[in-house]
Every structure is written in structure tokens, then in C-alpha cells.
Amino acid sequence: MNKTTKPAQKKYNRLINAVSIIIPLAVALLFFVRLPNVEPLTFLPPIYASMNGITSVLLIGALIAIKNKKVYLHENLMKTSVACSLLFLLMYVAYHMTSPPTEYKGNVPFLYYFILSSHIILSIVVIPLVLHSYSRAYFGEYKAHKKIVKYAFPVWLYVAVTGVIVYIMISPFYS
């Protein structure tokens, strides 16, 4: 990193840290908000679960691309992964603001709640990991980027895959 990018990197780090706190808090608070007189957006869960599935495939494709030194393809796949995750988040919040919670009534509640809990916790952890790794790559700090990605990639992939699994497990109980 050169001297001109150092202040910009510090600014981005502060922004990333703020966003990493604000997003989980906002999502948690929004669970207590129900929009009155709004038709429940019951069509969204399979769509946002699909966004998680697409993100999983894109992440694996991005890993393969960078291992094959296809940097431009890797960059585009990663940008698309971030966009898919953002779309997921928006749809997830919209659904939960318009629909009552769904209770899991399946035969394996321990497994469901274990996967759901780990998914939720790691979805909070992955935000700063992804944003800091993206920032490092953007500023050309590839060594720092690689160090963060070593953790960010498996966590993000786990969150994306378990998002699909949680949907599959709870979907029979949507009203």
C-alpha cells in the first residue's frame, strides 16, 4: 500500500467496522417490526434460499478461478457473490418484516437449531471478514487479502450452504 492509499484504507476500515456492527443490529431490531396492512411476502423464502445456493456456486467458482490465475474472472465472481448476499439480506429482511415467524416442527429439532444457530452466528462473523478481505484486494494488499480469505472463504461458504439447508428443513412448515 502506498502513502496515498493509507488514509483511504483507514477510512474504509472504519466504515467496514461500523457496517459490521450496524447490519446485525438492524436485522435483529427488524425482527420486532411487522409492517401493518402489508401482504406477507411469502414468495421470498425460496428466492432468497436460491440466492444462498447461487452464492455457494459463485464462491467455489471464484476459488477455482484464482487457483487457475484467472484474476479478472475471480474478481467478477466475487463481486457477484457480494451482490447475491446483499440481495439475500434485503429479501430476508423484507420477508421477516411482513410475515409471522415460522416454527420448526420437524423430527430433528436439535440438528435444525444447531445448523440455524451456527448459520446465524457465522453470518454475523462473515460480514467484517468479507468486507475487509474485499477492501484489501481493492487496495492491492494481496498478502493481507490472502490472510483474511483463509478464514473468510470457508465461513462464507458455510453460511451460504447452511442457508439453503435451513430453508429446506423449515420450508414444509411455512403457512
pLDDT digits (tens, 9 = 90+) for 108-117: 999 999 999 9
Q: Which residue has the cell 447490519?
A: 23
Per-residue pLDDT of 37-71, as tens digits, reads 899 999 999 999 999 999 999 999 999 999 999 99
For residues 77 and 55, give the distance between their C-alpha atoms in angstroms, rounded to a whole number: 9
Handedness of CA 87, 163, 31, 95 (dihedral sign): positive
Q: SS3 for 59? A: helix
For residues 69 and 122, give the distance between their C-alpha atoms in angstroms, rounded to a whole number: 29
Single out the residue of 30, 48, 123 nearest to residue 91, CA to CA.
Answer: 48
What is residue 31's predicted lDDT score, i.e. its pLDDT?
79
What is residue 55's predicted lDDT score, i.e. its pLDDT?
98
> Amino acid identity, residue 133?
S
Per-residue pLDDT of 11-41, as tens digits, reads 889 999 999 999 999 999 887 888 888 999 9
Handedness of CA 10, 121, 175, 30 (dihedral sign): negative
What is residue 65's predicted lDDT score, i.e. its pLDDT?
98
Per-residue pLDDT of 145-162, as tens digits, reads 999 999 999 999 999 999
C-alpha cell at 38: 402489508
Per-residue pLDDT of 63-100, as tens digits, reads 999 999 999 999 999 999 999 999 999 999 999 999 98
| Cα 106-124-140 angle, rounded to 5 deg | 135
State yes or no: pLDDT of 3 exceeds 70.
no
Q: Supply the mean pLDDT for the chain.
A: 94
